[in-house]
Each structure stands twice: as C-alpha cells, then as structure tokens.
Amino acid sequence: MTGRASAYCRNQVRRLDHDRYLTGLFAPAGRRADIFALYAFNLEIAKTAELVSEPMIGRIRLEWWREAIAEIYEGQPRAHEVVAALSPSIRECHLTRDYFERLIAAREIDLDDWQPDTLEALEDYARETSVPLVSLALEILGQGGEAARAAAAPVGMAWALTGLVRAVPFHARQMRIRLPRDLMAAHGARPGALLELRSSPELRATVARIAARAWEHLAILDRPPKAAQAALLPATLARGYLAILERAGYDPFDARVQHPDPAAAWRLTWARLRRRI
C-alpha cells in the first residue's frame, strides 16, 4: 500500500502543484517520497474551498483531516492514500503535530467571504498557510537547526504572498478578494472593477506594494545549510515569479503572470549549483 500511496502523492503533486514538485526533486532520494506526501497533504486541505458548495461541508472535510492527523499520531491511521504515505513520514521524521494543526486551521479562512483589512492581516494568513509547511519540509530533511528554522518564515511568507497576487484572477472569478482593503483604498482600486476581471493602474499599484513586501522577506535570507536547500527552494521560484510580475507591470491578469515560469527548472538547478535559494 505504501508504494502505491507514495506514487499517488507524487503524481498528485506533479499534476496539481508542479512548482513544489520541482523543488521536491532536489530532496535526497531517501526523503523524496516523504516530501511529496507532505505536499500532497497540503493539496488536500488547500483545495477544500474549491471542492465544496457551502462552508459547513468544507469544515467537515477539514475536520476529517484534523482527525486523520490525530489518528496517525495515535498509531491508528485511517485508509487513505495520502494518510498511508504520510504516516511513516510523521513517525520516522518526528514531525511536529502543531504544524499540521495550524495548516488545517488556516484553511478554514478560505471557506469564508473574507477580505483582509490590512497588509498585516494578509501576512498573518500567509504565515499560517505557508510557514508551517516549510517547517515540516525542513524537519523531513533533518534540518532543525537555528539557521534553517530562521529561513522558514521569510521563505514561506514570500512564496505565499507571491502566490496570492498571482491568484487574484482566480479569486475574482470566485467573487472573492484577497487584497487588503487598506491598500486598495489607498491606491483607489475599486472592488467592483476587480470582480469584473478588469485591470487598472490602481489595481497594479496595490499588487506592486504586496510584491515589494514579498521582496522584503526574500532580502533577509542568507545562504542556508546545503541539506536544507530543497525545503527552501520556493524562494528561488518566488524571485522568478516576482520578476515576471514586474515585467508585466504588476498586472495580475497578464498571461505571463498566470502561466508557469518556463525557466523554473533552470532557476532551481542554478540555485542548487550555487548553494543558494
């Protein structure tokens, strides 16, 4: 079952989260299946809002995952491909249970018609949906040292903020806005225009401010321990997407922003060779 479960997780991540799939390929061969199991779990909870027709059903689904994680720690994992693949990872790598619980709790926000009031509120959301995932990936790689742990927050924050601005059209099609109210108001960006899938100079100025904040997180990163690099490579991809966003004039509706970075594999390989992220 574990072999089939691991293959299932790898295929899900390759198909639905290709950027993280590419970073996972740089993990040591003996830990690659654990990384893909973790990222497959993240996919399961992250897509909840897309799969359900009403918030209550989504909360039931997230509670299922909360109980499933608890049962793994109790030594009684339930029958599910991702659970089967994740169970040995949790046991062998001594993964922190609180990180899983924070990830699940953060995804409950996705079920509500929620718009952050401030950039700080958006960063709080980014922190809870992304940083614990980076921390768990570091634990899988056996990197619990201070230097590696210090990198988890800026990497997770930069990747999440970059993803949120790239997801502006996706959220707008769902009649949701994840851009901070105060930034939109300060730049004169109108919610109605955004929900009509129309770009504007005001929207681009709002996006540019969030992108600048992502760059600020990336700027504090130092060269990480080599063994931690695979968990921190999303920083490399964030830089690539932020550069694309800048070339597109910070227009989240620009096709270049919406497409996967064609140079992603090259960027990751170069970062690996230079021992940077």
Q: DSSP letter at 27?
A: S
pLDDT > 90? residue 154: yes
Tokens linked to 28 = 């040591």
pLDDT at position 24: 97
The percentage of residues in the chain with a pLDDT greater than 90, rounded to a whole number, is 88
List, in order of start, the domains of the chain with CATH numbers.
1-111 (1.10.600.10), 113-277 (1.10.600.10)
Contact 194, 170 (CB under 8 A): no
pLDDT at position 222: 77
The pLDDT confidence band at residue 68, using thresholds 50, 70 and 90, is: very high
pLDDT at position 148: 83
pLDDT > 70? residue 1: no
Mean pLDDT for 215-240 is 92
pLDDT > 70? residue 241: yes
pLDDT digits over 94-150, tens only?
Answer: 999 999 999 999 999 999 889 999 999 999 999 999 999 999 999 999 997 888 888
Helix axes 234-247, 201-219, angle to 10 degrees: 150
Q: DSSP letter at 223?
A: P
pLDDT at position 146: 82
Q: DSSP letter at 225?
A: P
Tokens linked to 207 = 């996006």
How far apart CA 118 and CA 213 sit, in angstroms, is: 13
How far apart CA 133 and CA 151 sit, in angstroms, is: 12
Mean pLDDT for 186-200 is 96
